[in-house]
């Protein structure tokens, strides 16, 4: 059932008191702005917030103080698609039912051992006394806390105020910690002054406030930049620009990190910007993401190098401006072949500069020189957004054969559109389509199979078993002929003709394990841009429901990057890697999270998982199977299995900054603030 106008109206003439609203919706837009509007007989109205669970479930008790005329439910106030997945109803409830439903919500929160639920109890500020004596108050506190998790938009100024307070409180501890450190290297700090345009005083003052006191600094410009290393005495070096500001614990944190974690070639930290003394624009970065770094200098600063390494590559080069560090990083990567890169996810540096437009060319020049070694036949060009880059990797003269495996059962309307879009739009030639039929029964589907099988590129294999997605995938891969495999859902549709070229050109690189695509809902909102592990102590798609033209946090929705996983709705890999990790798990993950498990197994073998936005398809998400309560219960069991097996990644996804929320997919600030350097 589609929802037209984004509003439902229920007549309740003359009614007042307590009401229960329940049902379930599916939406491609944000449901945080959903409201209940009570229209009273006296012509007045009252608006209440309607909390909706992440799953789309609605189960909420509210009170109407006066005699009603109608009740409206108003969903998204923005463009999007909303569908009623389970009938929405509003009914009056008696006092006993109300108390029963209050405690049915409260008691699981009180006694749960689940970490997310325990945190909810703390966030709601509930005591046992509140729960026993005021169930109504406790119920609404829990509902509001759940709403805030999903819908609260943390303000960076407020977040920063808490950060600064915590830092001030812990400064005495930091001084004691520095005193106890066994390894205390001298750190050389270069402050680059560009023709006197920026005053270095603010930067020097931030150095003088450092808790760690084993440092030296030098002022440089383009005239003496290539001579400064000979003057340094330190083991490590930071390169700052005049006007930058370091946190008081910046150097202490770096040295503490080295004491705890040992040797690294490069270390970088999180950062923000400072303008007229006001800090803004936090850059809460992932751990080192090569594909992302080759598309955009997301690291920028604070970066720490070993001085011996800098000497080995000839030091810093003139003429690169704010890309000086990017140039040195890429040169060191080329020199060593592989870098051990450490990341401290704490905001320890505030930059006092922005890129100049003409500097974009300097970054492109640095990247071209690096790619002449890393991928000699690759082409690189400026990206759509300033200071981003697009790398195009080559394909062999003879295209590697690809098998596109599509599991399906009936829903010929979806399947035919999927297959037609591949045949009509794909500009890659060496592929076959392998349809795995999981017991289709409808005449239209069987006639389609008969017709489509006549095409040279299409095969249909029957595998009539109880639904087990992992078995269907393993069966399809086993019977595939290509050395490259593309898994594709039957409810997808090709948008960009280069989709397969783009994915295969990355998948054939020896360091890459799995490549995922950018998937959109039919209303041009993002359905998939990589998978973040740990969201809701499970996993979910990055940037879900983001408008397609929105670049996302730090451009991550529109640039290639590394994740721990991508969805099997559209993924490409070398067949040898698939069997190297044992394929999909048929026993423990028949329905859900099998693609996540597969990607994590590949990641643990040392391969990188890549998301590319340049392969773009529509995904109509689960239309072919629909909602099934038994299957949903099985999915919950499989989630428990994933949480146990991959606990370390649930707790810390290296490609998702721990200062970001685990309750949304849009990379918003979280409530928890880190001040621990020993990652």
Could you give the percent of the chain with pLDDT greater than 90?
Answer: 74
Structure tokens at 59: 């189960």
Q: Cβ(134)–Cβ(141) under 8 Å?
A: no
- 125-139, 588-602, 665-679: range with highest mean pLDDT: 588-602
Q: Which residues contact 630 (CB under 8 A, 6 or more apart)?
A: none
Neighbours of 659 (CB within 10 A): 21
pLDDT, one tens digit per residue, over 244-272 is: 999 999 999 999 999 999 889 999 999 99
Least confident window among 6-20, 121-135, 178-192, 193-207? 121-135
CATH number of 402-651: 3.90.550.10
Instruction: Give pLDDT, residue 626.
Output: 46
For the chain, the distance separating the N- and C-terminal CA atoms, rounded to the nearest angstrom, is 49
515 contacts: CB under 8 Å, gap ≥ 6: 503, 506, 507, 566, 571, 572, 573, 609, 610, 611, 612, 615
Whether the link from the prior residue into 636 is cis, omega within 30° of 0, is no
Nearest CA among 306, 173, 324, 307 for reference residue 248: 173
Residue 94: count of CB within 10 angstroms of its CB: 10
Longest dimension (CA), the chain: 87
Provide DSSP, 578-622. HHHTTSS-TTT-SSSSHHHHHHHHHHHTTPEEEEEEEEEEEE--S
Q: Are 654 and 562 in contact (CB under 8 A)?
A: no
100-126 pLDDT per residue, tens: 999 888 888 878 877 778 888 888 887
Average pLDDT across the chain, whole number: 92
Exposure class string for 629-644: b at 16+ Cβ within 10 A, else e: eeeeebbeebbebbbe
Instruction: Evaluate whether 265 touches 339 at the Cβ level (below 8 Å).
Output: yes
| Unique residue bearing structure tokens 């560009």 | 194
> Are the C-beta atoms of 325 and 303 separated by less than 8 Å?
yes
- Chain position carrying tokens 């100049």: 356
Q: Determine the Cα–Cα distance for residues 381 and 254; give it in Å rounded to an integer.
A: 35
Contact 652, 144 (CB under 8 A): no
Separation in Å, CA 500 to CA 79, 403, 529? 30, 11, 16
Segment holding 204, helix H or strand E: helix 201-208
Which residues have a Cβ under 8 Å from the Cβ of 26 and sit 6 or more positions away?
Answer: 56, 82, 83, 85
3-state SS string for 102-136: HHHHHHHHHHCCCHHHHHHHHHHCCCHHHHHHCHH
Task: Identify the three-state secondary structure at position 663.
Answer: coil
One-character DSSP codes across 7-40: EEEEE-TT--EEEEEEEEEEESS--TT-EEEEEE
Q: What are phi and psi of 671, to 5 degrees?
A: -85, -25
User: What token pair was written down for 530?
Assistant: 């990589």
Q: Reduce the DSSP state of residue 526 to 3 states and report it.
A: strand
What is the pLDDT confidence band of residue 289, given thresholds at 50, 70 and 90? Answer: very high
Q: Which residues pair with 526 in a beta bridge?
A: 520
> According to the per-residue pLDDT averaged within each range, which of 140-144, 350-354, 472-476, 635-639 is highest?
472-476
What is the phi-psi region of residue 328: left when phi exceeds 0, alpha when psi lies from -120 to 50, beta otherwise? alpha
Give percent of the chain above pLDDT 70. Answer: 96
Half-sphere exposure of 69 (CA within 13 A, CB side): 9
CATH number of 7-150: 2.60.120
CA geometry: angle at 572 spanning 441 and 550, to 5°? 100
- Say how many C-beta atoms besides its own lie within 10 A of residue 500's C-beta: 28
How many CA atoms are closer than 13 Å to the CA of 283, on its beta-carbon side? Answer: 23
CA 473 to the chain's CA centroid: 25
Query: In the chain, where does the domain assigned CATH 3.90.550.10 lie?
Result: 157-356, 402-651
Task: Identify which of 292, 283, 287 has the alpha carbon closest to the alpha carbon of residue 561.
Answer: 292
518 Rama class: left (phi>0) / alpha (psi -120 to 50) / beta = beta
Which token pair is 42?
């006296």
pLDDT, tens digit (0-9, with 9 covering 90-100), for 504-551: 999 999 999 999 999 999 999 999 999 999 999 999 999 999 999 999
Q: Quick one: 396 exposed, middle or buried, by C-beta within 10 A (0-12, 13-18, 19+)?
A: exposed
Please determine, for residue 502, whether its predicted confidence score (pLDDT) is greater than 90: yes
- Describe the chain by its helix, strand, coil percentages, rounded to 5: 35, 25, 40
Is residue 371 pLDDT above 50, yes or no? yes
CA distance 35 to 83: 17
The helix or strand, by DSSP H or E, that contains position 74, with its residue range, turns out to be strand 68-74
The C-alpha atoms of residue 308 and residue 266 are separated, in whole angstroms, by 12
Query: Tell me: domain 157-356, CATH 3.90.550.10, correct?
Result: yes
Q: Which of 508, 497, 486, 530 is nearest to 617 (CA)?
A: 497
CA distance 635 to 652: 22
Quote the DSSP letter at residue 60: E
Neighbours of 448 (CB within 10 A): 20
Give the three-state DSSP class for 362: helix
Query: In which element (H, E) is residue 278 found?
Result: strand 278-283
Going by their DSSP bridges, the two strands 187-192 and 236-241 should be labelled as: parallel
* pLDDT tens sequence across 628-673: 555 678 888 999 999 999 999 999 999 999 999 999 999 999 887 8
CB atoms within 10 A of CB 19: 22
Q: Is the pLDDT of residue 360 over 70?
A: yes
> What's the confidence (pLDDT) of residue 29?
76
Q: CATH 2.60.120 in the chain: give the residue spans.
A: 7-150
pLDDT (tens digit, 9 = 90+) per residue, 563-591? 999 999 999 999 999 999 999 999 999 99
């Amino acid at each position: 059932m589609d929802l037209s106008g984004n509003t439902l109206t229920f007549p309740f003439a003359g009614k007042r008191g307590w009401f229960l609203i329940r049902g379930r919706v599916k939406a491609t837009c944000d449901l945080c702005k959903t409201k209940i509007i009570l229209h009273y007989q006296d012509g007045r109205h009252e608006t209440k917030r309607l909390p909706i669970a992440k799953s789309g479930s609605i189960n909420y008790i509210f009170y109407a103080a006066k005699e009603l005329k109608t009740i409206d439910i108003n969903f998204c106030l923005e463009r999007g698609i909303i569908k009623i997945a389970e009938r929405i109803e509003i009914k009056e409830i008696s006092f006993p039912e109300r108390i029963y439903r209050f405690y049915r919500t409260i008691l699981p929160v009180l006694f749960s051992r689940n970490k997310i639920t325990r945190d909810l109890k703390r966030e709601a500020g509930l005591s046992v006394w509140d729960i026993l004596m005021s169930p109504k108050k406790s119920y609404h506190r829990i509902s509001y806390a759940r709403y805030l998790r999903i819908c609260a938009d943390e303000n960076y100024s407020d977040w920063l105020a808490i950060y600064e307070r915590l830092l001030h409180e812990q400064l005495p501890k930091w001084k004691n910690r520095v005193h106890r450190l066994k390894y205390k290297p001298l750190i050389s700090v270069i402050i680059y002054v560009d023709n006197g345009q920026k005053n270095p005083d603010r930067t020097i003052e931030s150095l003088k406030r450092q808790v760690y006191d084993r440092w030296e600094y030098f002022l440089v410009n383009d005239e003496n930049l290539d001579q400064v290393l000979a003057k340094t005495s330190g083991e490590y070096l930071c390169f700052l620009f005049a006007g930058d500001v370091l946190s008081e614990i910046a150097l202490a944190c770096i040295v503490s990190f080295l004491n705890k974690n040992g040797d690294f070639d490069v270390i970088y930290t999180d950062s923000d910007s400072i303008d007229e003394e006001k800090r803004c624009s936090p850059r809460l970065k992932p751990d080192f993401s090569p594909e992302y770094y080759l598309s955009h200098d997301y690291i920028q600063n604070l970066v720490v190098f070993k001085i011996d390494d800098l000497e080995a590559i000839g030091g810093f080069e003139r003429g690169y401006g704010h890309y000086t560090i990017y140039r040195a990083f890429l040169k060191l990567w080329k020199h060593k072949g592989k870098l051990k890169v450490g990341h401290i996810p704490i905001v320890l540096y505030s930059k006092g500069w922005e890129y100049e437009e003409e500097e974009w060319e300097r970054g492109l020049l640095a990247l071209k020189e690096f790619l002449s070694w890393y991928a000699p036949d690759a082409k690189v060009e400026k990206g759509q957004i300033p200071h981003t880059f697009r790398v195009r990797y080559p394909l062999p003269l003879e295209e590697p054969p690809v098998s596109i495996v599509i599991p399906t059962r009936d829903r010929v309307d979806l399947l035919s559109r999927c297959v037609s879009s591949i045949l009509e739009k794909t500009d890659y030639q060496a592929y076959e389509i392998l349809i795995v039929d999981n017991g289709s029964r409808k005449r239209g589907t069987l006639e389609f199979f008969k017709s489509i099988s006549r095409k040279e590129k299409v095969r249909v294999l029957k595998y009539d078993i109880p639904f087990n997605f992992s078995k269907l995938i393993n069966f399809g891969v086993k019977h595939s002929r290509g050395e490259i495999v593309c898994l594709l859902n039957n409810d997808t549709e090709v948008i960009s003709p280069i989709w397969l070229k783009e994915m295969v050109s990355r998948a054939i690189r020896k360091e890459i394990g799995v490549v995922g695509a950018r998937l959109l809902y039919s209303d041009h909102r993002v359905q998939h841009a990589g998978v973040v592990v740990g969201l809701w102590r499970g996993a979910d798609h990055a940037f879900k429901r983001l408008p397609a033209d929105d670049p996302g946090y730090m451009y991550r929705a529109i640039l290639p990057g590394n994740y721990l996983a991508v969805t099997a709705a559209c993924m490409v890999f070398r067949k040898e890697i698939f069997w190297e990790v044992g394929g999909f798990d048929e026993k423990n993950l028949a329905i859900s999270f099998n693609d996540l498990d597969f990607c994590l197994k590949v990641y643990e073998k040392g391969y990188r998982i890549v998301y590319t936005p340049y392969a773009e398809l529509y995904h109509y998400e689960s239309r072919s199977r629909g909602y099934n309560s038994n299957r949903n219960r099985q999915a919950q069991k499989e989630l428990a299995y994933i949480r146990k097996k991959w606990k370390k990644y649930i707790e810390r996804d290296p490609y998702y900054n721990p200062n970001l929320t685990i309750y949304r997919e849009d990379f918003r600030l979280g409530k928890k603030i880190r001040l621990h350097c020993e990652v």
